[in-house]
């Protein structure tokens, strides 16, 4: 087994600093060269002022010159007067100049050595060549670097996590998916104690596929494995394999597994594997594309493990239905671990984990929040706790209160409160009776979730809402529960009709949900006595999308379709009639609660049960009397 090479962080930092210094020197030299060129070509050097040749002759004839310097190659005369003035001029062929200067005993210098002139000449001649040379060298280095980058184009982009880089996430940070944790503990235990399994003749699964809805904690589980297992851990996304160039994805797969073989025992985690593992030939006309080449190489690498090698690949996806069957067979992803949405106990554990670092009041009951969030994933619950914390901070509170968490729960479920919406008194009254109608039917209907809160404050798209919290998670629904739910949905419209003798458009969403639930009762659940235990309609599967899309295909006659429509209408009408009976029977309670709701805008569970208490006691007494009389007779 090859040893694990540990990187020296100090050496890597030193190499990085050397590279930065080298680049800085090159940039400095190029900048200095540009400044020299510009100064030599475009800046006039400081020196004597320019004068005309006639001015020079006039000064000579007046006897004002003290010293004259002749530069014959440049045809320049530099003169210094007795007053200390220095000027220069250009002269033409003047043969008597030297004799006239000698007659006046003027000091004469011819072509003296000048280092500045020599440096200027060298700068003008050689600096452009030096600039071209440096630029060529710099461009060559850049091209060489691009060549190295092109050569590494087929290298894997997996980020390795090694022993000296342990992640803080462990299985203690994962809650609500105990079964998945137990499945993965076995893999971690094998990597830590392989001899225990090999001695008894057991073979560890070569791959584990984490399947579940988005936000359930699949990637978190992978991070927990990285924190628990004391082996190198390679992490990569499925989309990082595929590029626009053919063959790059397959090359990256080969490079990834070559790295893994050098660092075994190790783990490879591929997130969103459906990006490369989609069913081959899933489009019309088939074809051979880059994604399929990448998948083929992945299949070969997974099945080509040496039995002595200890490399385990873990993948995560929320679309297991579109994966290629070759990926899911034994020998590749032997173990398929489902990561479901948490139940009420799991949600409570998740809330406890996310609230550990949040400053909360002591009287907060997270069990109420867990009961009110059925179907929430771990990511949803983390967002809920964060929303509650933000609400408390917005109100300048030092501790998060129960009201903040309940407000956050309502924001996530129904949307933010719309305080800017202004409604008339009549509309508020209609909405109040509508919501109390829902709550009243829920209080007296059979086997429905209890009412937790009633509100007429607009929130999201809703003008008001009645919040029901289940006592426990339900995985099955009886026919009685479905029919009672339909009665609750019809309670709002029934209250409007009884009180105002007119109906409004406020029950549109209730009617939509009631229609869908009634159709499911007949066509999916097979609970209709008239149509029997059969499923009506087939999903329209789209080959490109891999999911149900559009309307269902009818696999029944037009006569059966009419029977289904009549049955749906009958079920909804019966629920509506039952809801009206409940409201008419408790009309005084409806008026009392609706009046209080108009004043307070919100009624919680305790106050609602208090308003119903006496009426429920009377109902129970009447029921007991009837039972006693029937037994006596």
Q: What residues are annotated to the active site? A: 435
Q: Count CB-CB contacts under 10 A for residue 521.
A: 20
Q: How far apart are CA 305 and CA 332, in angstroms?
A: 10
Cis peptide before 265 (omega within 30 of 0): yes
Checking DSSP bridges between strand 86-90 and strand 76-81, what pairing results, if any?
A: antiparallel
Q: Is 501 helix (H, G, I), strand (E, B) or coil?
A: coil
Backbone angles phi, psi at 468, to 5 degrees: -115, 130
Query: For the CA atoms of the chain, what is the radius of gyration?
Result: 43
Specify whether the CB–CB gap between 286 and 547 falls below 8 A.
no
**Among residues 234, 303, 305, which one has the least CA distance to residue 266?**
234
Q: Is 535 helix (H, G, I), strand (E, B) or coil?
A: coil
H or E stretch covering 270: strand 266-271
Torsion of CA 412, 600, 607, 441, to 10 degrees: -70
The answer for residues whose C-beta is within 8 angstroms of residue 141's C-beta and 6 or more apart is none
HSE-up of residue 402 (Cα within 13 Å, Cβ side):
9
Q: Count CB-CB contacts under 10 A for residue 519.
A: 18
Specify whether the CB–CB gap between 586 and 432 falls below 8 A.
no
Specify whether the CB–CB gap between 354 and 202 falls below 8 A.
no
Specify whether the CB–CB gap between 600 and 508 falls below 8 A.
no
Checking DSSP bridges between strand 233-237 and strand 266-271, what pairing results, if any?
A: parallel
Q: How far apart are CA 316 and CA 275, in angstroms?
A: 11
Q: What value, to the nearest 5°, has the Cα angle with vertex 296 and ends 293 and 298? A: 110
């Amino acid at each position: 087994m090859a040893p694990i090479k540990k990187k020296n962080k100090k050496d890597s930092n030193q190499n990085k600093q050397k590279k930065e210094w080298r680049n800085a020197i090159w940039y400095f030299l190029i900048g200095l060269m540009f400044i020299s060129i510009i100064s030599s070509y475009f800046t006039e050097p400081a020196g004597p002022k320019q004068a005309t040749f006639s001015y020079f002759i006039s000064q000579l004839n007046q006897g004002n010159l003290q010293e004259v310097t002749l530069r014959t190659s440049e045809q320049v005369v530099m003169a210094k007067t007795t007053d200390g003035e220095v000027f220069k001029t250009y002269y033409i062929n003047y043969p008597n100049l030297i004799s006239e200067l000698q007659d006046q005993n003027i000091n004469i210098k011819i072509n003296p050595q000048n280092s500045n002139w020599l440096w200027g000449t060298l700068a003008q001649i050689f600096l452009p060549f030096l600039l071209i040379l440096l630029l060529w060298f710099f461009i060559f280095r850049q091209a060489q670097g691009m060549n190295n980058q092109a050569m590494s184009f087929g290298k894997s982009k997996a980020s390795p996590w090694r022993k000296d880089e342990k992640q803080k996430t462990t299985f203690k940070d994962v809650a609500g998916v105990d079964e998945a944790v137990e499945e993965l503990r076995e893999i971690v235990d094998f990597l830590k104690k392989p001899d225990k399994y090999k001695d008894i003749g057991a073979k560890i699964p070569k791959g584990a596929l984490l399947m579940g809805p988005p936000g359930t904690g699949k990637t978190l589980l992978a991070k927990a494995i990285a924190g628990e297992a004391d082996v190198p851990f390679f992490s990569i996304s499925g989309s990082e394999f595929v590029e626009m160039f053919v063959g790059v994805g397959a090359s990256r797969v080969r490079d990834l597994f070559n790295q893994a073989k050098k660092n075994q025992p190790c783990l490879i985690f591929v997130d969103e594997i459906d990006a490369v593992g989609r069913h081959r030939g899933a489009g019309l006309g088939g074809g051979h594309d880059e994604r399929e080449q990448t998948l083929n190489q992945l299949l070969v690498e997974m099945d080509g493990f040496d039995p002595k090698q200890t490399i385990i690949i873990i993948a995560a996806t929320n679309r297991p239905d579109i994966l290629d069957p070759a990926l899911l067979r034994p020998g590749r992803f032997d173990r398929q671990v489902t990561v479901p949405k948490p139940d009420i106990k799991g949600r409570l554990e998740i809330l406890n984990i996310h609230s550990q670092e949040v400053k909360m009041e002591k009287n907060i009951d997270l069990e109420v929040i867990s009961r009110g969030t059925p179907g929430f994933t771990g990511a949803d619950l983390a967002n809920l706790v964060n929303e509650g914390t933000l609400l408390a901070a917005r109100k300048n509170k030092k501790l998060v209160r129960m009201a903040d968490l309940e407000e956050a729960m309502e924001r996530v479920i129904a949307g933010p409160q719309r305080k800017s919406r202004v409604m008339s008194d009549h509309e508020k009254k209609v909405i109040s009776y509508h919501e109390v109608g829902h709550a009243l039917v829920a209080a007296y209907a059979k086997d429905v979730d209890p009412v937790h809160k009633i509100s007429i404050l607009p929130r999201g798209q809703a003008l008001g809402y009645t919040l029901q919290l289940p006592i426990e998670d339900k995985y099955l629904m009886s026919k009685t529960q479905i029919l009672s739910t339909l009665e609750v949905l019809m309670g709002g419209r029934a209250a409007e009709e009884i009180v105002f003798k007119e109906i409004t458009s406020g029950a549109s969403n209730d009617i939509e949900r009631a229609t869908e639930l009634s159709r499911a009762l007949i066509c999916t659940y097979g609970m209709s006595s008239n149509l029997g235990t059969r499923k009506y309609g087939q999903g329209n599967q789209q080959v490109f999308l891999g999911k149900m899309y559009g309307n269902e295909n009818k696999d029944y006659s037009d006569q059966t379709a009419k029977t289904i429509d009549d049955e749906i209408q009958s079920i909804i009408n019966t629920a509506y009639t039952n809801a009206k009976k409940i409201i008419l029977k408790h009309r005084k309670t409806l008026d009392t609660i609706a009046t209080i709701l108009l004043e307070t805008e919100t009624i919680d569970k305790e106050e609602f049960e208090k308003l119903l208490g006496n009426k429920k006691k009377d109902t129970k007494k009447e029921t007991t009397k009837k039972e006693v009389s029937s037994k006596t007779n």
